[in-house]
């Protein structure tokens, strides 16, 4: 199978499903994000079918890509959602997501966000500290509601990923320290407006091995046993997200082997299994299409200055992340070693270093694996309007987000009266 199924060359043209990317450029201009509907569905189905008969719920981690059309597509094929803010809650509801399939994660839920989620009757709050649990109890009591809760336990395992996206070590801000979890579960029995229904962990993102997941699962099962002895009715185990994808030469486990490993770790237990995948559902289902504005030669380097920048895709600048960059039309020009950079006034504004490409001004490039944490982390830095987003379905293209206009950029701003 090709590295990026649904994104393949037909003759010399890179296509998304059956649409050549140069057609997308002519219709929608650049920079723009382009997604394959089939790739999104295939990624979801691979997780879903691997659970076979086991009771489960896939809660797509909205932060990876929160565009309404993507949320709507996942809602239609049965997905639940993992949210981390009131804004994400609003998006999921607007996109037709079922509130009874929403879990609410995050270390700093505000009172207003808790209220909105209680009104919506979500499936579960993943609570990350004793003070948060107390606040939720208080708010639920004021509203005459009972809040369904999992405690997010920090199992203190090393996810062996980039330090910025590793969350399951005891020095990280996330979750309840493993050694304190049982005590907090026990004391939660005194909180009248909290109903404990689950157990949750999430240890990090872009994990390329199964071992840390298995280690975390084993610790959680030990805790589950104790809780059951204390007669807690644990209805579900939320095993978080974090499965990595292939950006370059990584070789992460497939969704199928990941799910099978989790199911075997949980063994005969009857609890429903929840997972919260983000990147692995959308990452390789999207690319960022950009156009070469200028080729600039200096004594030291060749730069290709493109019309997408760190405000569109911050991952290279923020994590030194590698994204493959492919020519949209293959040509016979001379190959050179290019630094692919954007127009933003920072040296950190690059999309790729040392890429061997044959380029002329105006060429189109596809920055691959950009479906996750691309658009959702984009900004207006340098007062650059946010890119358009296009969903491809077979030979059809759909504009799912218009390019932001210059008027929209300053719409909420005011100058002083004098």
| Between 103 and 344, CB nearer to ligand LLP | 103
Is the separation of the CB atoms in 320 and 351 below 8 Å? no
What is the nearest approach in angstroms of ligand LLP to the Cβ of residue 264? 20
* DSSP-derived secondary structure for 235-301: -EEE----B---SSS--PPPHHHHHHHHHHHHTT--SEEEE--SHHHHGGGEEEEEEEEEEEE-SS-
Chain position whose Cβ is nearest to ligand LLP: 278
Interface contacts to ligand LLP, rule CB under 6 A = 61, 64, 82, 105, 165, 202, 205-206, 240-243, 276-280, 315, 319, 373, 377
C-beta closer to ligand LLP: residue 316 or 342: 316
As a whole number of angstroms, the distance between CA 366 and CA 368 comes to 6
Q: How far is the CB of 102 from ligand LLP (least distance, A)?
A: 13
Bridge partners, 391 (sequence order): 35, 398
Choice between 246 and 291, CB closer to ligand LLP: 246
Query: And the tokens for 414?
Result: 């005011």
Beta bridge partners of 280: none
Which of 157/357 has CB closer to ligand LLP?
Answer: 157
Is 124 a catalytic site residue?
A: no
Nearer to ligand LLP, 25 or 44 (CB): 44
For residue 363, the minimal CB distance to ligand LLP (Å) is 27
**Nearest distance from C-beta of residue 371 to ligand LLP, angstroms:** 11
Pick the closest to residue 164 from 58, 381, 353, 317 (CA basis). Answer: 317
Task: State in angstroms the smallest separation of the CB of 270 from ligand LLP.
Answer: 24
DSSP secondary structure, 108-149, as one string: T--HHHHHHHHHHT-SEEEE-SHHHHHHHHHHHHHTT--EEE
Active site residues: 345
């Amino acid at each position: 199978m090709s590295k990026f199924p649904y994104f393949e060359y037909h003759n010399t043209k890179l296509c998304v499903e059956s649409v050549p990317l140069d057609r997308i450029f002519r219709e929608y201009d650049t920079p723009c994000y382009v997604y394959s509907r089939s790739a999104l569905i295939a990624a979801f189905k691979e997780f879903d079918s691997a659970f076979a008969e086991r009771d489960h719920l896939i809660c797509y981690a909205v932060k990876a890509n929160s565009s309404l059309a993507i949320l709507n597509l996942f809602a239609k094929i049965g997905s639940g959602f993992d949210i981390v803010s009131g804004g994400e809650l609003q998006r999921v509801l607007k996109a037709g997501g079922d509130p009874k399939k929403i879990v609410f994660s995050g270390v700093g839920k505000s009172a207003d966000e808790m209220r909105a989620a209680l009104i919506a009757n979500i499936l579960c709050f993943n609570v990350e500290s004793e003070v948060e649990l107390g606040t939720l109890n208080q708010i639920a009591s004021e509203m005459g509601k009972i809040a369904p809760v999992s405690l997010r336990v920090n199992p203190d395992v090393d996810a062996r990923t980039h330090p910025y996206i590793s969350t399951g070590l005891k020095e990280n801000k996330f979750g309840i320290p493993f050694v304190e979890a049982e005590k907090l579960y026990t004391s939660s029995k005194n909180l009248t407006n909290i109903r404990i229904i689950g157990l949750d962990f999430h240890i990090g993102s872009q994990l390329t091995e199964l071992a840390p997941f298995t280690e975390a699962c084993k610790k959680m099962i030990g805790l589950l046993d104790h809780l059951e002895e204390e007669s807690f009715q644990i209805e579900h185990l939320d095993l978080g997200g974090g499965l990595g994808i292939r950006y370059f030469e990584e070789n992460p486990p497939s969704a199928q082997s990941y799910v099978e490993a989790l199911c075997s770790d949980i063994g005969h237990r009857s609890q429903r299994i929840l997972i919260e995948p983000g990147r692995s559902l959308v990452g390789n289902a999207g690319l960022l299409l950009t156009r070469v504005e200028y080729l600039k030669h200096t004594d030291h380097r060749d730069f290709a200055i493109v019309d997408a920048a760190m405000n569109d895709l911050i991952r290279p600048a923020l994590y030194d992340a590698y994204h493959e960059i492919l020519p949209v039309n293959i040509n016979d020009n001379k190959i050179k070693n290019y630094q692919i950079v954007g127009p933003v006034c920072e040296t950190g504004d690059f999309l790729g270093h040392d890429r061997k490409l044959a380029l002329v001004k105006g060429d189109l490039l596809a920055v691959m694996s950009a479906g996750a944490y691309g658009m959702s982390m984009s900004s207006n830095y340098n007062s650059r309007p946010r890119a358009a987003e296009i969903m491809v379905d077979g030979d059809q293209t759909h504009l799912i987000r218009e390019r932001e206009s210059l008027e929209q950029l300053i719409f909420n701003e005011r100058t002083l009266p004098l």
